[in-house]
Amino acid sequence: MPHNSERRNEDQEELILATRKVDSWKEDFASAVERESIAEAVGVLDAQKTAHAGTPRQAIKLQAAKLISSHYGEATPALYNTAIAFARSESEGAQEVGLVLLGQMYTHNPPEVTETIMNLADSENWEVREWAASALRRVISGHFGAIFPTVQAWTVHASPNIRRAAVVGCGAAASSCTSDECRLLLEALTPLLEDDDPYVRKNLGAFAIGDSLLKAQPALVAEWLGRASGHARAQWNVAMALSSAEAAKHFELLRGLLWRVAADDRTVVRRAVYRAVLNLAKRIPEEITALVEAWEEDSQRSHVYSYVKPRLK
């Protein structure tokens, strides 16, 4: 058995070798990029796939995009052509690297960039769809006027994956948009308030609206939600937006919406109202407890009191 010092030396050598093995992909990838061998570069990238997602880790894909940009130079035609080649590869990890690059290169060929993002937003791979939505967000943030007609078209697209990409892209872009631009995004999203597809709806009310758009433009979003149709799914989305953490920060703006939606007698809406009230109670307990107790004798809203009161701490 080796002495402690010998074991420490062996451990250090193993750590150095492991580190070299982990980092060796960058050298191989950079070498392939320098020789402009896209197939080889994609092969190096694919060798880093994880069992969970079937693509390399996010940090690796972002490093790969940086290495490509460093070689070709920012916003060059060669970089654009390489980004398109990666995005059109059969490799899903390469597609994601291509999306990182294309999100910043919209002006090189707007129709081609738009088509590529749309195709990947409809990918069978959920992770590729996420990266496509992120690419759309970058385009919205940088080229709002040019891409907005596309956003409008995507919100009524036949594929729920494309509609969902519009939802996520709009929500994520809200923080970098002006109030007028956010108003346009909200109007574009209006038809989706009634969308009953599970993939669309789970990303809309609580997340794109509640977590993102409400944070960026609380007064504007409150007014827009107040104009939502009486459709059950639309009112469900109103309640789900109220369930977000941001809703508690702007409760005075949203109090009237909660009062209105709490009177809805449809089961799907009521369940969302209960969730909203319980989530709000975690953040503004005194205000919500007083509100719920005031509804005990309210014939239209006593159901909220009956369900929520026993669950309030």
Output the pLDDT for position 8: 53
Q: For the segment 262-284, what is each residue's pLDDT rounded down to a tens digit?
A: 999 999 999 999 999 999 999 99
Average pLDDT over residues 150-158: 97
With 90 as the cut, is the pLDDT of residue 9 above it? no
Give me the amino acid identity at 14.
Answer: E
Q: For the segment 179-219, what is each residue's pLDDT rounded down to a tens digit?
A: 999 999 999 999 999 999 999 999 999 999 999 999 999 99
53 band by pLDDT with thresholds 50, 70 and 90: confident
2 band by pLDDT with thresholds 50, 70 and 90: very low
3-state DSSP of 100-142: HHHCCCHHHCHHHHHHHHHHHHCCCCHHHHHHHHHHHHHHHHH
12 band by pLDDT with thresholds 50, 70 and 90: low
Exposure string of 209-229, with b = 16+ CB inside 10 Å and e = fewer, is: bbbbbbbbbbebbbebbeebe
Q: Concatenate the DSSP letters of all residues of the chain into one string.
A: ---HHHHHHHHHHHHHHHHHHHHHHHHHHHHHHHTT-HHHHHHHHHTT--TTTSS--HHHHHHHHHHHHHHH-TT-HHHHHHHHHHHTSS-HHHHHHHHHHHTT-GGG-HHHHHHHHHHHHT-SSHHHHHHHHHHHHHHHHH-HHHHHHHHHHHHT-S-HHHHHHHHHHHHHHGGGS-HHHHHHHHHHHGGGGG---HHHHHHIIIIIIIIIIHHH-HHHHHHHHHT--S-HHHHHHHHHHHTSHHHHHTHHHHHHHHHHHTT---HHHHHHHHHHHHHHHHHSHHHHHHHHHHTTT-TTTHHHHHHHGGG--
Q: Calculate the average pLDDT of the chain.
A: 93
Q: Which two tokens stand for residue 244?
A: 């977000």
Average pLDDT over residues 221-232: 97
3 band by pLDDT with thresholds 50, 70 and 90: very low
With 80 as the cut, is the pLDDT of residue 20 above it? no
Average pLDDT over residues 159-187: 97
Q: Do residues 254 and 220 make contact, with C-beta atoms less than 8 angstroms apart?
A: no
With 80 as the cut, is the pLDDT of residue 10 above it? no
What percent of the chain lies above the pLDDT cut of 70? 93
Q: How many CA atoms lie within 13 A of 22 on its CB side?
A: 9
With 70 as the cut, is the pLDDT of residue 285 above it? yes
Output the pLDDT for position 55: 92
Average pLDDT over residues 231-255: 97
1 band by pLDDT with thresholds 50, 70 and 90: very low
C-alpha to C-alpha distances, 181 to 65, 142, 189, 234, nearest whole angstrom: 29, 12, 12, 22
Average pLDDT over residues 126-138: 97
Average pLDDT over residues 91-114: 97
22 band by pLDDT with thresholds 50, 70 and 90: low
